[in-house]
Structures are given as C-alpha cells and as structure tokens.
Amino acid sequence: MLHGVPEALLELLDQCQSRGWLSYEELNNALPDEWVDPERLHELLVMLDQRGLEVVDEMEYRARQWRESRKRGEAGGNAGTTTGGMIENKPTRAMTVVGGERTSGDGWRVMNWNVRGGASGGKHAGSSAATNGNAASAGASSNGAVSGEGGSEGKNGVSGNGSPAAQYKGSGASANASSTAAPEEIDDDFIDDEELAQLRKELAAEIAARGDDGSKRIDDPVRMYLTQMGSIPLLVRDEEIRLAKKIETTRMIFRRRCLESDYILNHAVTILRQVHKGELPFDRTMRLSTLEANAREKIAKRIPYNLATIEKLLELNKLDWTALQQARRERDAEATAELRERLTSRRRRLAVLAEELCLRTGRIIPLMKKLRSISRKMSDLRHDLNKPEKLKRLDADDIQAMRDELDGLRREVCEEPGELSARIKAIDTVFWEYEQAKRDLSGGNLRLVVSIAKKYRNRGLGFLDIIQEGNTGLMRAVDKYEYKRGFKFSTYATWWIRQAITRAIADHARTIRIPVHMIETMTKLRNMQKIMFQEMGREPTMDELSSKAGMPPAEVRRVMKISRQPVSLDRPVGETEDSAFGDFIEDTRSESPVASATNDTLKQRIEQVLKSLTYREREIIKLRYGIGDGYTYTLEEVGRIFKVTRERVRQVEAKAIRKLQHPVRSRKLAGFLDRGPGSEDGALELPGTGGGSTNGAERGGSDRTGAGESHRRRVQASAGEPAVEQIHASAGDVALADDQPSEIDELA
C-alpha cells in the first residue's frame, strides 16, 4: 500500500500521527495532482483508517490548534501555527499558499479567505472567522445554483458533458481529451477598483437623471452588492488551482464516504438499474468526464456487471450484520472483530464498484440527507429507551414498539446508532469542506461576472437580475471546471456566464416568453390581417384568416391569443403611484388568515387525538400517512420496521382508525369537517368502515372491498403539517388499500 506514495504525503501523515488528526487543507496541499483520482484516493483513505487518523474541517482545525496552544500556555495568536502538521511556532503549510495569505490584527493566519462568516448554513455558521465581503461571496452560491453536479441540464439547458464555449468560440476550446493543443485563454476581464468606482458613479448619475429621491432608489441593492464585492480580493493562479483541486478531492471523498453506507448504496443501485433500463436519462444521471474518450459507452457496458456484483455483496453484508448482532449478544469479542473487519473491507470494495459507474453527486446528496434523518431518529429512540423517567410514563406495548422500530431501522441501515452517527459526522465534515471550496472559488470571481454583466445592460433585464443570472453561470462553471486541462478558471467560466446571461435575456425580456418560431407565425398572421382589412373594409373573422393562411382555425385562435400584450400587475392606476393594477385583482392562491389559523388549530387537534392512541398505533398512522416528516410508507415497509406482517400492519391501522372514529375523539375534529349530504353529526366517516361500520375494512380478508365510488377532496400540506382529506362515501364503499395509504377523512 505504501508503494508509490509521495514522500511529502508520507511525511505529513507521519507528523500528524502523534496528534491523531489532520485537516483537509493540509491534506490538499500535500496531495500531488496525479493522486486526485478515485483509485488513489481510495488507497489514501485506507491508509488514514489504518493509521487511525481523523480528517477534520477548518473550524475544528482551528479549535484544536487553539486548545493545543492553551495546553502549552501560549497566547491565542500562536494557536494556528504548525509546521507540516507538527505543532510549532510557525505557520502551517496549509495556511501559506503564495499570494493568498492574510494576517489579521491578532496574528491569525486566515486560510486564503476560506473561512468566511455566514458562508455555511450548517454547524459552522456561527463560528466562522469574520471577514469583509461575506454577503457578496455567499450571494454567488444562492442564486439558483444546485449543489454538486445537480444534473446534466440545469436552468440554462446545456448538456452536462459539453460546454457553451462551442456556441461562441467554435473550435477555440476543444473538449476532446486527445487534443494536445494548448488551450486558447481569454485575457483576464476582471473589473478593478477604479472601474467599480466608475460604475457606482454611473448608477448615481442615472438616479439623478430620473429625479428619484433617496426613498425610491431601485439600484441601492446593486450599489451595496458592488461595495461588498469590492472588499473580496482576487484569487491568484496558485490559489485558483489549490481550490479547484480541493473541490475535486473533497467531492471524491464525500462520494466515497456516502457509498460506503449500505442504505445509500441500496438506493443508488435502484437508480442505476433504472438508468440501465432506460427509465432515467443517462446524461442527467451519470457524470461523464470530457477527458476520457467514449466514457458513456464504457460506463453503459460496465453497469450490468457491477450491479450484479454489488447486489451479491450487499446480501453478504446483511448476513454478516445478522451474525455480528449474534456475536455481540454472545459477547464473542474475536468473532465481533472479525465480522466488523469483514464488513468494513467489503464496504470499501462496494464503494469502489459504485464509483466506477459515475453516479452524479446531485443524486447522492438527497440520499445522504435522508440517511441523516434516519440517524437522528435512531439516536432519539435510543436516548428515550435509555431514559428511565421517560419509560415510566409508557406502557409495555409502547416500549416494545419503540424497540421494534429501532431494530427495524438498524436492519434498514445495517449499522448501530453510534456507528451511523459517526459516519454522518464524517460525511458532514467533508461535505462542508466541499461546499466551502466552491464558495471560495466563486467568491473570488464575482468581479468577472460584473465585468461581463455590464455589457448586457438595457436589454430588458435589470442590472441586478443580469448579475444574478451571471452568478448562476459562475456556479455552474465551478461544478464543471477541470483544472487538469490547463485552462484558467476565468477562461472557462466566461462562456458559462455569457451563456447564462444571454439565455436569461431571451427568456425573461418579455413578460411572457414567446419562442422565436412563434413570433414569426404571429408576424405572418398580423400582416395577412391588415391586408384583408384593407380589401374587405372590416376585420376578418378567424375562419377567413385561417383559410387565407392555410392554418387550422384552432391554431389561428391560439396564435392570436398569444400575441396579445400582457398587462403588468405593477402598472400604476390613476395619476398617482400609490396603487397598482395588481391591487385590484384577487389572489386566489394565497391563503387567508382564517384558513391559516384553522390549519394551525387542526394540526394541534390532530396531535392531541393521536396522543390518545398507543405508541404502535400512533407510529403506524404517522408512517402510513406521512404525518411529521412528509414521507409515506407502504404496508410492507412499515411491517419491516415493526417486524410484523403487512396484514398485521393493516389490522393495527384499521383498529386505530376505528378508535379515531369514536365520538370522544371525533368531536375534536368535527368542526373541521365539510360534511356532505346525508352525513351524521356523531362521528367522522373514515375509510375502511363505511360510515361507522367496523367490518368494511376486513370483509373477506381482502385489501380492497366495496364497489362504490367516492368523491374526494384532499388538501395536502407541507412536510411537518397535517393534510386534511374529506371523503363522502356510502357504507362499505371504501376499504384500506394494500399498496398505498388508505384515505382518512380528517387525518392524512
């Protein structure tokens, strides 16, 4: 394993061995370019695990350095000083990239502006080092960009493997990996401080020319943005390469950490199987590198073989997990260690096999978030089960149901709550580093966006909107940038920024976008309409116009309807500007205060009613109807969690519904019911009961009974809020469905 490892990397690992950890910044600086590769990084991660080295992010790095300095009795200003990883009184190599370092008043070395206050919305948001220009830097990442690759076609409609350079440049920047010609670079077009000052003066002159007072300065956000952006320094070439390499490295490590989870890998196999069957688009699901020739064909041929191997290894993991649980119960330390090592080794192999299929990071991130929610649920259950004062308030059935649910989640992820929490922590750490590096690279190029955006002013979009669209193109370029090809980032990003701006102008210059071919048809019909008016002395009818144009009458009516000029809702009404046209139009989509208050009250009432059920019944109802987290589970999925059959789940669900129909409980929700004709006031009609009958749900042992049709009105709420469903049905019409959640009148 140590064969071929760079000497600088081995030296760093040896130096950090004594303290037991190193930072991603140190690792990134010691890692040569040829090691920024999935196979090499796999070897590196195995080395780190064997040495017991933990990789921490910048915030944790600073905290540990500060604690080390306090132990030695040093001042706070020397807390961040090490040499190559060993704690000394010199700046660490990770903090001394030429041209990028900055020293604050207290002596701290700021890592090339990597740590910015407010840049992260996660656990590090409150502890970031304060620097200038945070709002402008964070703004680049909040303009509609998607984390990770996000998909082959984003907002701008450009193929994920290509580049918009071909639309502007022709043969300038070749995407062929076999090309040996040096890339044609664009001269740096960053706006400097003098140009920023001049641009602010021009904006002030426009305000004065319009005669606007200070309270109506529509360009104040632009001036504020330009002022904050001017405080962010430009990136030098060394910094640019370092950040690009860090993005690649952290992205690969993040993917590897995620794919080592059996839960994520099971869902990834489902996605890859859909790609292989043609149910999902290949280009939008798989990440293809332009450096490798025939990458699509190679991956397509590899998918069926890798999937077959992955599925077999996952089955072996389940068997070993069951054996590991048995060994732990028997307190067999030797068997436990052997099985744990076998699982770890097999999961590494599974991650390598899955990585070869190049699933997009944008497809992995949602799976990681769902795994994180499962980890929180498992931790909460374990905490409650280990809390005697909480268990005293629960009966034996509820306690057993909680244990069954925890066991079901364990089997689902094949990990203990503590192991899963540690995995999520490692994933969150590298994901924050990945997102932070993207913010840094985009933040250092905000001036490039403004420099390009000012050339597209007065084309139907406001200047701030143009900058925003340019920032989305910049974030897209950050995701697609491959520094190994030799381009400067500004050369590559210019085409994405221009493409995003020009596409936005084409799409949003008119209030309602009309395609180019439709504009030509509208012009043709209008010209014919004028000629016929001159000949006939009256406006032609639609039938006459369609006969003249040789088009169907329905198509003519559609085109003429599209050609109407829309009226802006913000158009002033009357001589003053106090009221707008939109103020006189009812917004039927907005929720009234009464409805909002009613929904809040309904949510509280539903929670009160559910508390009257047993723990098992309450949890099954929540899982089946997505109450709380918004996820709905099938009977089979709920059965796996509680270790019962789907029929037993259906019976418990039906029993819970009958309890909810009891007048004592139903009266609490009766005021929220829109009753249909023939409804009684005593109880709520819930599915599976036929207006109070207890036999409708189980008649004949079938999952679906009754032949009548029901009239439904469902109001879906967002995750964490109740969804109300009203069903007017005759007795015995509705029964519980086996494959989808049944309908509950006031509870969904």
Do 399 and 524 share a domain, yes or no?
no
- 423 closest CA partner among 263, 313, 655: 263
- For residue 165, the surrounding DSSP H or E stretch is helix 165-169
The answer, yes or no, to whether residue 689 has pLDDT greater than 50, is no
Find the length of the chain. 748
Asked whether residue 659 is domain-assigned, the answer is: yes
Q: Which of 101-115, 165-179, 211-225, 516-530 has the highest mean pLDDT?
A: 516-530
Token readout for 307 is 């999937």
C-alpha–C-alpha distance, residues 41 and 342, integer Å: 21
Asked whether residue 477 is domain-assigned, the answer is: no
Do 624 and 580 share a domain, yes or no?
no
What's the number of CA atoms in the CB half-sphere (13 Å) around residue 518? 13
Mean of pLDDT values over 496-505: 88
Do 293 and 426 share a domain, yes or no?
yes
What's the number of CA atoms in the CB half-sphere (13 Å) around residue 486? 12
Asked whether residue 221 is domain-assigned, the answer is: no
Do 689 and 653 share a domain, yes or no?
yes
Token readout for 602 is 């309904």
Give the pLDDT confidence score for residue 162 in this predicted structure.
43
Mean pLDDT lowest among 171-185, 196-210, 659-673: 171-185
* Three-state secondary structure call for residue 103: strand
Token readout for 511 is 């209030």
The answer, yes or no, to whether residue 216 has pLDDT greater than 90, is no
Do 378 and 274 share a domain, yes or no?
yes
The answer, yes or no, to whether residue 501 has pLDDT greater than 80, is yes
C-alpha–C-alpha distance, residues 109 and 127, integer Å: 16
Do 606 and 530 share a domain, yes or no?
no
* Tens digit of each residue's pLDDT (9 = 90 or more) over 250-300: 999 999 999 999 999 999 999 999 999 999 998 888 887 766 667 888 888
Instruction: Confirm if 696 and 711 have CB atoms less than 8 A apart.
Output: no
Give the pLDDT confidence score for residue 184 in this predicted structure.
46
Give the pLDDT confidence score for residue 448 in this predicted structure.
92
Q: Which residues contact 743 (CB under 8 A, 6 or more apart)?
A: 687, 710, 712, 725, 727, 734
Q: According to DSSP H, which parts of 231-294 are helical? A: 237-259, 262-277, 282-285
Instruction: Confirm if 635 and 739 have CB atoms less than 8 A apart.
Output: yes
Do 352 and 430 share a domain, yes or no?
yes
C-alpha–C-alpha distance, residues 442 and 489, integer Å: 10
Q: Which of 89-93, 118-122, 404-408, 565-569 has the highest mean pLDDT?
A: 404-408
Give the pLDDT confidence score for residue 338 in this predicted structure.
92
Q: Which residues contact 51 (CB under 8 A, 6 or more apart)?
A: 13, 17
Instruction: Confirm if 744 and 714 have CB atoms less than 8 A apart.
Output: no
Asked whether residue 510 is domain-assigned, the answer is: no
Domain that holds residue 716: 595-728
Do 303 and 434 share a domain, yes or no?
yes
Q: Which residues contact 303 (CB under 8 A, 6 or more apart)?
A: 272, 275, 276, 357
- 96 closest CA partner among 29, 35, 32: 29
C-alpha–C-alpha distance, residues 391 and 590, integer Å: 44
Give the pLDDT confidence score for residue 434 in this predicted structure.
92
Select from 584, 613, 642 the last residue of a domain: 584
* Three-state secondary structure call for residue 82: strand
Q: Is 113 left (phi over 0), alpha (psi -120 to 50) or beta?
A: left
Report in angstroms the alpha-carbon separations of 197 from 202, 209, 323: 9, 18, 70
User: pLDDT confidence of 206, banded at 50, 70, 90?
Assistant: low
Give the pLDDT confidence score for residue 676 in this predicted structure.
54
Asked whether residue 235 is domain-assigned, the answer is: no
Instruction: Confirm if 281 and 450 have CB atoms less than 8 A apart.
Output: no
Total domains in the fold of the chain: 4
C-alpha–C-alpha distance, residues 322 and 344, integer Å: 15
Give the pLDDT confidence score for residue 78 in this predicted structure.
46
Mean pLDDT lowest among 474-483, 562-571, 664-673, 739-748: 739-748
Token readout for 159 is 């193929």
Mean pLDDT lowest among 170-184, 243-257, 601-615: 170-184
Do 558 and 419 share a domain, yes or no?
no
Do 336 and 379 share a domain, yes or no?
yes
pLDDT mean across residues, the chain:
73
Do 660 and 560 share a domain, yes or no?
no
Asked whether residue 174 is domain-assigned, the answer is: no
Do 344 and 385 share a domain, yes or no?
yes
The answer, yes or no, to whether residue 156 has pLDDT greater than 80, is no
Higher pLDDT, 86 or 427: 427
Asked whether residue 223 is domain-assigned, the answer is: no
Token readout for 458 is 């007065």
What whole-number percentage of the chain has pLDDT above 90? 24
Asked whether residue 360 is domain-assigned, the answer is: yes
Neighbours of 258 (CB within 10 A): 25
User: pLDDT confidence of 528, banded at 50, 70, 90?
Assistant: very high
